[in-house]
Structure 1
Amino acid sequence: MTHALIPALALALAALPAPLAAHPHIFVDASHELIFDAEGRLVALRNTWVYDPLFTLLMVEDGGYDTDSDGDISAAELEAMRLWDANWPEDYGGDVELELDGAPLTLGPPTEWAADWRDGEAVSVHTRALAEPVAIEASRLTLRAFDPVFYVAYSIAALPDFSGRTDCRARLVSPDTSTISSELAETIANLPPDADPEAAGLGEIGRLYAEELRISCGN
């Protein structure tokens, strides 16, 4: 498994009741900001991840961030959380994928980390620059947020924001889960927490459940 959150919390999750031994374990609402330069080229993607309350509770307890034990995170405590999920393994792709007319775009390492706290849910924000600016007129840009091993389930919570352009549009497309057989779905649901789906011959199962944004700019 390569997700940045797995090493720190595997023991905590394993100690929870048996129903959590099914994939996925963590639930994230993802939103995105596409950033364009003065020439209208796409230069960066800013990701916002809102984690589910149960995972947030485990993370806060594991990290000792609620120093006054009041069940909330103050502004002072929040600063200590700013980099809590920033320790990415070398082989972790960041659980987001951008394609231009079907060809993958290369995203750089995360920068500009920020954290927030919303009604018992941890929020993490980071920016990833493209390897080089990309013109997207007359092309279709596709964004997917997913964990290949489906340890984390991402839901795209909103259409993206566009910074630097006013002529872009996006459409959210749900995965066609009817193509997933009941046998495969049951196998995925019953994977133990430490299972590697690819080693089990299942491939990138997270892709099967991935929502995607289809984005176009210009006339």
Structure 2
Amino acid sequence: MRPTGAMAGAVLLLASTLAAGAHPHVFAEAKLDVEVDANRTVKTLRHLWRFDELFSSTVLMEFDKNSDLVLDANELDAAALTIHASLAEYNYFQMVTADGKDVAMKPPARLVASFENNQLVMQFETQPAATLPLAGKVSIGVYDPTFYTAIEFTDDDKMAAAGLPASCSRVVVRPDPDVAIAQNQKRLTDAFFTDPTGTNLAKIFATRLELTCA
């Protein structure tokens, strides 16, 4: 979706192209909860993003249709629907792999928006499109492939896995951007010119949860 008119001001902050700037303009503190079922498969990813006050104020101005400086339920739903549509082409900033192979995810049925302490909070859930067993290494990263939005996990406990079997290990990987760029400079340059709206190479920058199971 390419928003037009006044709505573009808010939505393009989340769904801008790489050409608009290769460094973050929007910041969100995030939490990821992975639910594992009794069959040792990944059942659900639960995401929570708490956006910075500047972006949150922009959303407030765009969607506060009655100008009371509060987003009511209908206005929050409108914001959530717009962001939901805008993030679809970016897979909602999720990068999931199993032993290095991409895993397809079902789009979230809906995003739930709220405002807490002058900050926009978005919550949503996704599930693997097919059964995703915990075998080998399952990696779950969260990153904006356009480099416009920084999704930040302030500590490792913000990436949790409930129901993880004892035979599995959990580690949070935080790549060094300078090292990642240096190691992949040519690939990143080529990807920019062939696909300036974003690249799957973003996974090399993503903070990710790695679950390794015997």
Same-fold status (TM-score > 0.5):
yes
> What is the alpha-carbon root mean square deviation over aligned residues?
3.6
Secondary structure of 2:114 counterpart: strand
Secondary structure of 1:170 counterpart: strand
| Aligned: 1:146 with 2:134 | no
| Aligned: 1:46 with 2:42 | no
Identity, % of aligned pairs?
24
| Aligned: 1:155 with 2:149 | no
Q: What are the Cα deviations for residues 105-151 of structure 1, in whole angstroms up to 9, with x where unaligned?
A: 110111243223222111111111101122114x2221111111201
Query: Structure 1 residues 201, 98: CA separation in 2 closer, same or farther (over 3 Å shift)?
Result: closer
Q: Please report how far the alpha carbon of residue 79 of structure 1 lies from its aligned counterpart in structure 2 after TM superposition.
A: 5.5
Aligned partners of 2:2, 2:141: CA distance in 1, in Å?
18
2:92 aligns to what? Answer: 94
Secondary structure of 1:111 counterpart: coil
Q: What are the Cα deviations for residues 37-96 of structure 1, in whole angstroms up to 9, with x where unaligned?
A: 332311221211111111111111111168422xx5567865565435222366332211
- Whether contact under 8 Å (1:27, 1:153) holds in the other structure is yes
Structure 2: unaligned runs, 5 residues or longer: 14-19
Query: Structure 1 residues 64, 41: CA separation in 2 closer, same or farther (over 3 Å shift)?
Result: same
Aligned partners of 1:117, 1:51: CA distance in 2, in Å?
10
Query: Structure 1 residues 159, 54: CA separation in 2 closer, same or farther (over 3 Å shift)?
Result: same
Aligned match of 2:207 in 198, 208, 211?
Answer: 211
Query: Structure 1 residues 74, 198: CA separation in 2 closer, same or farther (over 3 Å shift)?
Result: same
How many residue pairs end up in the alignment?
Answer: 193
Q: Normalising by the residue count of structure 1, what TM-score does the alignment of the two structures yield? A: 0.69
Secondary structure of 2:175 counterpart: coil
2:114 aligns to what? Answer: 116
Secondary structure of 2:9 counterpart: helix
Aligned match of 1:198 in 178, 184, 192?
Answer: 192
Q: Normalising by the residue count of structure 2, what TM-score does the alignment of the two structures yield? A: 0.71
Q: Please report how far the alpha carbon of residue 101 of structure 1 lies from its aligned counterpart in structure 2 after TM superposition.
A: 1.6
Aligned partners of 2:106, 2:53: CA distance in 1, in Å?
29
Query: Structure 1 residues 91, 11: CA separation in 2 closer, same or farther (over 3 Å shift)?
Result: closer
Structure 1: unaligned runs, 5 residues or longer: 14-19, 189-196
Aligned partners of 1:25, 1:171: CA distance in 2, in Å?
28
Aligned partners of 2:132, 2:195: CA distance in 1, in Å?
35
More helix by proportion, 1 or 2? 2
Query: Structure 1 residues 121, 81: CA separation in 2 closer, same or farther (over 3 Å shift)?
Result: same
Equivalent residue letter for 1:177: P
- Whether contact under 8 Å (1:43, 1:132) holds in the other structure is no
